[in-house]
Structure 1
Amino acid sequence: MKVTLISIPVRDQEKALKFYTEKLGFLKKKDSPLGGGNRWLTLVSPEWQDGPELLLEPAPNHFEPCKVFQDALMEAGYPYTQFDTDDVQKDYDRLVELDVEFSVKPTEMGTVKIAVFNDTCGNNIQLVETL
């Protein structure tokens, strides 16, 4: 088995698409209408275009437990997921220049360096660099 797709809940797929492509640099891979204004909208890393796809899932708009879970994670400051990077400080500096808001600045924690930002779509995302 292998992971081919992971979803992240977003409340506005178009806003999420703009943030994840224009600020984070992901590439759109699939974009198919599902009805009701929803889309099967996936992204990939430009560094690993054949790797796992990130589904921008509109679940919080249609499934209350997902919305409650997403709100609870945000309120507690917990990241919904993490993205690995070769250089947390470099990505932090680049994203701050693009007005991305961080709740945790680059911080060394044992064998990793982390930073946490708000994706503007209801999620905290953690960047992780292995030291």
Structure 2
Amino acid sequence: MKIKLTKVYVDDQEKALAFYTDVLGFTKKADFSNGPFRWLTVASSDEPEGTELQLALNDNPAAKSYQQAMFKQGQPAVMFFTDDIESDHERLKARGAAFAMAPTTVTGSTIAQVNDSCGNLVQITQLARW
């Protein structure tokens, strides 16, 4: 088995697409509509054929409640990994990202959290090299 798709709920798909592509540097993979439904995915520019992230509209009351509760608790909706968190922190700040947590060393890694401006915290993690 393989993981090919996961999702994050967003309150605005256009705004999310801009954040995940223009700020984080991901690549748009799929974008099509069927009536009011829009299927929108992005993938890592480093692995364009890898796992896709669906930017799913939170128009379902359960999804919206879940998204808002996670944000209120300071819990990231999604986590991405990097080999150089300090460089990524500077690059994302230069692109206008609002960090909820600057790079912080914790057990086994350094983490940062950025607000995706669509209702989520995104955690960026650099694993410690033992």
- TM-score between both structures, scaled by the size of structure 1: 0.94
Measured after TM superposition, the shift of residue 76 of structure 1 is 1.0
RMSD value, Cα: 0.9
- TM-score between both structures, scaled by the size of structure 2: 0.94
Equivalent residue, structure 2, for 1:91: 88
Moved over 6 A (4+): none
Equivalent residue, structure 2, for 1:64: 61
Structure-to-structure mapping, 1:26-65, within 5 angstroms: 26-36=26-36, 38-58=37-57, 60-61=58-59, 63-65=60-62
Structure-to-structure mapping, 1:111-122, within 5 angstroms: 111-122=108-119
Whether 1:73 and 2:70 are equivalent positions in the alignment is yes
Equivalent residue, structure 2, for 1:109: 106
In structure 1, what is the Cα distance between the partners aligned to 2:117 and 2:14? Answer: 12
Question: Deviations for 1:6-42, whole angstroms, at most 9, x for unmatched residues?
Answer: 1110111111111111111110111111211x31111
Partner SS for 2:30: strand
Which ranges in structure 1 are unaligned for 5 or more consecutive residues? Answer: none
Across the two proteins, how many residue pairs are aligned to each other?
128
